Chain A
């Protein structure tokens, strides 16, 4: 399998649940990203990992906890979310020098928080 994959594709959870989103890339990239896309809003960068080290955390609430065990896998652990956290969560990867290389996106996980 090639490209960037995300599981699950859809997730419905209650506010007290704990769940995790998974992202996997088979492109040999060293940078991975989590984005949030809410309706009528731009893609919001949440976290950036370069060579498994977190290099960006854009003021994301602690109920979102990323984990990058290796360059190919990225997780987003979810705990006590709010209904306003319902959105499409996109994972992306890129080579380290992403200034002139593009980011490759997964299909996203559609999250609904009840």
Chain B
């Protein structure tokens, strides 16, 4: 059973607007969450993380929000740029160094 879900396989956004990527999880023991970005023919690269003791973490144009009661996190990119076009994976961890990944959301930012 999939513990981390990204229900939107794709998203298109106009350049300059906000991109919102969503992720849901089922395991209430997860306490650390990350977002990765993946370009074609490259491995995923770390983007931003959040610990369960926070509900928001911001890094430049990227902000991750965590709603523990809803078991939901989201990644906001604002303003979106064409170079942000990639596949975005969310991942969650409960303990140790094992992370559970979602299926990814392919973001296209239209110039």
Interface string of B30-64 (1 = CB under 8 A from A): 00101010000111111001010000000000000
Contact with B along A74-109 (1 / 0, CB 8 A): 000000000000000010101010111011111110
Q: Which residues of A contact B99 (CB under 8 A)?
A: 45, 103
Asked if residues A102 and B34 are in contact (CB atoms below 8 Å), the reply is: yes
Q: Does B4 contact A (CB under 8 A)?
A: yes
**Would you call A4 an interface residue if the criterion is a C-beta within 8 Å of the partner chain's C-beta atoms?**
yes
Whether A99 contacts B93 by the Cβ 8 Å rule is: yes
Does A27 make an interface contact (CB < 8 A)? Answer: no
Give the Cβ gap from B98 to chain A, nearest Cβ, in Å: 6
B97–A31 CB distance below 8 A: yes
Determine whether the beta carbon of B101 is less than 8 Å from that of A108: no
Q: Size range of the interface on A?
A: 20 to 34
The CA-CA distance from A106 to B100 in the complex, in Å, is: 18
Q: Which of B89, B91, B93, B97 contacts A50 (CB 8 A)?
A: B97
Q: A42 contacts B45, CB within 8 Å?
A: no
Q: Are B46 and A102 in contact (CB under 8 A)?
A: yes
From B9, B51, B98, give the contact of A45 (CB < 8 A). B98
Tell me the smallest distance from the CB of A69 to a CB of chain B, in Å: 20
| Chain B residues near A50 (CB-CB < 8 A) | 97
**With a CB–CB cut-off of 8 A, which chain A residues contact B2?**
42
Task: Report A-chain residues with C-beta under 8 Å of the C-beta of B91.
Answer: 43
Minimal beta-carbon separation of A44 from chain B (angstroms): 8
With a cutoff of 8 Å between Cβ atoms, the chain B residues found around residue A92 in the complex are: 43
Q: Return the CB mask of B91-111 against A: 1 if under 8 Å, else 0.
A: 101011111111110000000
Which residues of chain A are within 8 angstroms of B95 by Cβ–Cβ distance? Answer: 99
Q: In chain B, residues 1-46, which have Cβ atoms closer than 8 Å to a Cβ of chain A?
A: 2, 4, 9, 32, 34, 36, 41-46
- Cβ contact within 8 Å between B103 and A42: yes
Q: Quick check: B34 and A108 within 8 Å, CB to CB? A: no
B residues in contact (CB < 8 Å) with A: 2, 4, 9, 32, 34, 36, 41-46, 49, 51, 89, 91, 93, 95-104
**Residues of chain A at the chain B interface (Cβ within 8 Å):** 4, 6, 31, 33, 35, 40-43, 45, 48, 50, 55-56, 90, 92, 94, 96, 98-100, 102-108
